[in-house]
Amino acid sequence: MTALFVCTAGWAAAQTPASTLPAGTAVVFIAEGHFDGRAQPGASIRAHLKNDVVLDGTIVAPAGTTAKLIFVGAKNGKQSVAIDDFRTRFGFLPVGYAESDEPSMNAGVEIRVRTLANVEHLSDRYVIEEPFPFKIGNDAPASVYTPTPARTAPPILQTTGRGSRRSPSPTPSPASSPSPSPSP
């Protein structure tokens, strides 16, 4: 019984992450192009990571790692941008949106965003783990919620005039005839 407990505890310790770079970690990108007040949503320029992103002495993403800076829109004098295609050594790391009070965004501007996923160091590997977008629990649904059964439309069947089902007939393909060989 004691040996089983020790083995189970050892397995649980091996599965626990040694360390985590949590979601919400601040990262800074530098714009490499220009957005002005007339930029259309979806317009993009390149950006690069200002500093290394490090976990347990290992560089997850080195300074200079490129990403795409996408103009989302402008509202109340603020520009909203998103960082996309931020690829680390261990996969894509999603990051949040950023807003700027400036009417235009020039090259060299710092864009401060936060990561949206955890980077975990598990023994000899690194894992990027996105958290669930909602809290999971065993709470009962609200009393006003009434589930409705899902229904699908009945299939449409081809019928003949007498109401019997007819299956589609295959269309014949033309057979190739052998060509005569030339005589010498």
pLDDT in tens, 30-75: 999 888 767 888 889 999 999 999 998 899 999 999 999 998 887 7
The pLDDT value recorded for residue 1 is 45
Does the CA dihedral 60-66-67-70 come out positive or negative? positive
Pick the CATH number of 17-129 from 3.30.565.10, 2.40.128.260, 3.30.470.20, 2.60.120.260: 2.40.128.260
pLDDT in tens, 93-152: 999 888 877 777 888 989 999 999 999 998 888 899 887 766 667 766 666 666 666 776
Give the pLDDT mean for 82-86.
91
Output the CA angle 142-136-129, nearest 5 degrees.
150
Specify which residues 162 forms β-bridges with: none
The pLDDT value recorded for residue 172 is 65
Q: Which residue intervals of 16-104 are DSSP H helices?
A: none
Choice between 8 and 145, residue whose per-residue pLDDT is larger: 145
The pLDDT value recorded for residue 3 is 47
Query: What distance lies between CA 27 and its chain's CA centroid?
Result: 18
For the chain, the domains span 17-129
Q: How far apart are CA 51 and CA 53, in angstroms?
A: 6
Read off the amino acid at residue 183. Answer: S
Cβ contact 145:52 at 8 Å: no
Does the CA dihedral 57-60-65-71 come out positive or negative? negative
The token pair at 118 is 């955890």
